[in-house]
Amino acid sequence: MASDSVSSQAPQVALVGAGPGHPEFITLRAVECLRRADLVLYDRLVPRRILEHAALTAKCICIDSLHERHAQRIPHIHQTMIDAAKQGLRVVRLKGGDPFVFGRGGEEAAALRAAGISYEIVPGVTAALGAAACAAIPLTHRHYASGVAFIAGHEQPDKGDSALDFAALARFPGTLVFYMGVVRLPFLVQSLIEHGKPPDTPCAAVRWAATPQQQTVEAPLRELPQVVAQAEMKAPALIIVGAVVGLRRELEWFERRPLFGKHVLVTRPRHQAGDMVRQLEELGARTSLLPAVEVRPPMDWSAVDRAIAELSRYQWLVFTSANGVSFFLRRLREVGRDLRALGSLRLAAIGPATADALREYHLEPDLVPDEYRSENLAAALRDRVRGQRVLLARADRGRELLHEELAAVAEVEQVAVYSQCDAVDWDAAVLEELKAGHVDYVTLTSSNIARALVRSLEASGLAVLRDGRVRLVTISPVTSAAVRELGLPVAAEAREYTVAGVVTALLEDVQEKEKRLPKG
Ligand code: SAH
């Protein structure tokens, strides 16, 4: 809540544009407002990931959920903002696209002004601009369009006769972009043609622009209603009318990305999923997060604390995961020690991600095997640790191989620095999509993840994995073996046992399948 004198002078309410749907098509000011908000009132069309910029303590309410309960929806939204601001809360009113383009932002600002509430307005990328960029239709062009008009097509046919001046629109020397126009499309098209717009004017309809579910159809004006109906296109969609649509064929990029149209499930723990999600989305995939395992601090720290107290007894400290690094080093701080406690200990990391986790603490591992797996780490360490004392910092469940191999040549103490368990709160909506086969790929980055996922699915859910409708991509031969043991087929396996390796394997599988089945 605003406390010091400077922030108490800041506007009480921010009317913020959330952009067209891409979680990163949002302004820095919008992120800053969200970061400081106590209450966020958002529209249904706002991408959920944008809400993650808000503090955990902020209350986020979807205003469409107020809709059913309040016939007087608009005044109710206004009053909710005003009441919260009067209580001293910092309010963000988060709207799809831009607040001042068909967003009723003008009415909301007026209501705030009338109530004596201060506000700021943060612009957003309006849907037309999102569609222009991602459907590759320049809205203006030196040769084809010297202007652009944003027009409300209104989706409720019961709104009565159009207030639109079709004669003026038909004459307009530029691109027409209709918002909320799908339901009334036949009427809009007929009216434009009747008022002189050439029936062969190139047109496009773009649904869910700037999202991984973007859908675009093109047709000459006279055929557009039929083409849109055939494609079963519904709101939210924009209708773009003008010669510039013809440039799309040459400029298209968004829907051409190699994973566009693919729905990929990421099953890593939430705090570790970001990197994979980003890599997949950059290639065009739609991702859903279904963390199959969770990592937590161990129930009992005493063995770890004892090892920390006696660190100088060891010559080697071995990490088998990035989680192991962060839990161990955080615990070091919690018991009042710091990196100096590591002294001259030699450090080993099982693979590149674990090595990078060490580097984040400015620690350079002395040993990282060429290939990321226990067998290779054991082989690389065996000769170097002979006769020495080794501390193995690991999860409470996992393979015993490394411990057994090293214990044959050295004195090894292993401590569980974190605990890994099956996820408890599975996202029911994502699980349903998986069971229904509305997912193309599931990525599996460990054997534990594979087993936890299978435990969470009933027989009905397993069917789509078993028959290959949903394809499984694994991080390594060890994970593949676990998957096969569960009776499931592996579609692709990473050559390099990293997140990037999994993404590459998935991509290659898509490309191979496409080669076999050329697009009709
Ligand atoms: N303030 C918003 C518009 C709100 S009106 C903005 O500036 O974008 C809602 C209409 O916007 C929808 O009916 C649809 O026509 C359009 N729209 C919003 N997001 C869209 C998207 N991602 N793709 C296509 N059209 C979208």
Does domain 263-292+424-516 correspond to CATH entry 3.40.50.10090?
yes
User: Which residues 6+ apart lie within 8 Å of 338 measured at CB?
Assistant: 332
Whether the CB of 95 sits within 6 Å of ligand 1: yes
Q: What angle do CA 217, 218, 223 make, to 5 degrees?
A: 110
Task: Using most ligand atoms within 8 A of CB, pick from 46, 98, 180, 241 the residue to mutate for ligand 1.
Answer: 180
By CB atoms closer than 10 A (0-12, 13-18, 19+), residue 235 is middle
| Distance of CA 21 from the midpoint of ligand 1 (Å) | 9
Whether the CB of 180 sits within 6 Å of ligand 1: yes
Residue 72, pLDDT > 80, answer no
Task: Using most ligand atoms within 8 A of CB, pick from 42, 43, 45 the residue to mutate for ligand 1.
Answer: 45
Predicted confidence (pLDDT) per residue in 225-248, tens digit: 999 999 999 999 999 999 999 999
Q: pTM of the full predicted structure? A: 0.88
Superfamily of segment(s) 129-156+164-256: Tetrapyrrole methylase, C-terminal domain (3.30.950.10)
Atom of ligand 1 nearest to the CA of 127: 8
Q: Is 44 helix (H, G, I), strand (E, B) or coil?
A: coil
| Distance of CA 94 from the midpoint of ligand 1 (Å) | 14
For ligand 1, atom 24, the nearest C-alpha belongs to 237
Does domain 297-421 correspond to CATH entry 3.40.50.10090?
yes
Whether the CB of 127 sits within 6 Å of ligand 1: yes
Q: So what's the pLDDT on residue 4?
A: 55
**What average pLDDT does the segment 288-303 reach?**
94
**What average pLDDT does the segment 275-281 reach?**
97
Q: So what's the pLDDT on residue 2?
A: 46
| Distance of CA 239 from the midpoint of ligand 1 (Å) | 11
Is the bond preceding 269 in cis, omega lying within 30 degrees of 0?
no
Whether the CB of 357 sits within 6 Å of ligand 1: no
Q: So what's the pLDDT on residue 70?
A: 57
Residue 455, pLDDT > 50, answer yes
Whether the CB of 178 sits within 6 Å of ligand 1: no
Atom of ligand 1 nearest to the CA of 235: 13
Whether the CB of 440 sits within 6 Å of ligand 1: no
Element (H, E) at 76: helix 73-86
At position 258, the amino acid (one-letter code) is: P
| Distance of CA 357 from the midpoint of ligand 1 (Å) | 41
Identical fold for domains 11-125 and 263-292+424-516, yes or no, is no
Whether the CB of 98 sits within 6 Å of ligand 1: yes
Residue 390, pLDDT > 70, answer yes
| Distance of CA 104 from the midpoint of ligand 1 (Å) | 13
Whether the CB of 103 sits within 6 Å of ligand 1: yes
Q: So what's the pLDDT on residue 288?
A: 95
Q: What is the dihedral of CA 118, 123, 126, 129, to 10 degrees?
A: 170
Residue 110, pLDDT > 90, answer yes
Q: So what's the pLDDT on residue 67?
A: 58
Residue 204, pLDDT > 50, answer yes
Task: Using most ligand atoms within 8 A of CB, pick from 102, 182, 207 the residue to mutate for ligand 1.
Answer: 102
For ligand 1, atom 9, the nearest C-alpha belongs to 180
Residue 158, pLDDT > 60, answer no
Please state the domain extents for the chain: 11-125, 129-156+164-256, 263-292+424-516, 297-421
Whether the CB of 183 sits within 6 Å of ligand 1: no
| Distance of CA 315 from the midpoint of ligand 1 (Å) | 61
Q: So what's the pLDDT on residue 7?
A: 62
Instruction: Select the more confidently predicted residue: 69 or 96.
Output: 96
**What average pLDDT does the segment 120-143 reach?**
98
Atom of ligand 1 nearest to the CA of 100: 1
Q: How far apart are CA 197 and CA 222, in angstroms?
A: 10
What's the CATH number for 11-125?
Answer: 3.40.1010.10
- pLDDT above 70: percentage of residues in the chain: 95
pLDDT tier for residue 75 given thresholds of 50, 70 and 90? confident
User: Which residues 6+ apart lie within 8 Å of 425 measured at CB?
Assistant: none
Whether the CB of 96 sits within 6 Å of ligand 1: yes
**What average pLDDT does the segment 29-54 reach?**
95
Atom of ligand 1 nearest to the CA of 20: 22
Q: So what's the pLDDT on residue 156?
A: 53
Whether the CB of 105 sits within 6 Å of ligand 1: no
Length of the chain in terms of residues written: 520
pLDDT tier for residue 25 given thresholds of 50, 70 and 90? very high
Whether the CB of 208 sits within 6 Å of ligand 1: yes
Nearest to 100 by CA among 126, 119, 120: 126
| Distance of CA 127 from the midpoint of ligand 1 (Å) | 5
Q: How far apart are CA 135 and CA 207, in angstroms?
A: 10
Whether the CB of 133 sits within 6 Å of ligand 1: no
Task: Write out the two tokens for 119.
Answer: 């506000």
| Distance of CA 66 from the midpoint of ligand 1 (Å) | 20
By CB atoms closer than 10 A (0-12, 13-18, 19+), residue 201 is buried
pLDDT tier for residue 359 given thresholds of 50, 70 and 90? very high
